[in-house]
Amino acid sequence: MTFAMHNLQEIDARTLKQWMDQHEVLLIDVREPQEFAQSHIPEAKLMPITKFDPAKVPRPQGQKIVLQCQSGKRSTQAAHQMLQAGFSNVIHLQGGLAAWKAAGYPTQVKQSINMLRLAQILTGSFVLFGTSLGSTLTPLFVILSIIVGGSLVLVGVSND
């Protein structure tokens, strides 16, 4: 065990929640952007481990810096980088986001539509649009529905 490891502190989710409620902490999430978008602790600042640079970590006065990831492994790596860069008393959330969720604390989720659902909505709209216009204006619009339907069949059969 090196000297730097002696300065690495672990806290549990309850302690982090108390500190956050008292505005005593800067929480840094070191997961990747897509993980962060799916679910994150409110007020967490994203600094992915793949681009993590201790020199870019803010040093707010009067606040503790806590690192967090999904389970605690990446936040431990980031904490060691910070200790090697000269930070003292680096803290990370033991058990990470999983522990936070297990304790029943809230997370924020980015509400976005996934690509498959978007494709289904657009495809259905084209078929509906083509069929509606084909039955009211001119039968030529039915060709739009035939093209879209045929494309779906082709993609399904080819398994691409």
Query: How confident is the model over 9-34, as pLDDT tens digits?
Result: 999 999 999 999 999 999 999 999 98
Contact of 68 with 28, CB cutoff 8 Å: yes
CATH no., domain 3-102: 3.40.250.10
The candidate with the shortest Cα–Cα distance to 65, out of 12, 29, 35, 109, is: 29
Residue, of 126 and 54, whose pLDDT is higher? 54
Question: 1 pLDDT exceeds 70?
Answer: no
φ, ψ of residue 71 in degrees (nearest 5): -125, -15
Write the single-letter amino acid at 113: I
Known catalytic residues? Answer: 69
Cite the residue boundaries of each domain of the chain with CATH code 3.40.250.10. 3-102
Q: Residues 119-146: pLDDT tens digits? A: 888 888 989 988 999 899 998 889 988 9
The candidate with the shortest Cα–Cα distance to 82, out of 43, 14, 25, 30, is: 30
Write the single-letter amino acid at 68: Q
* DSSP for residue 140: G
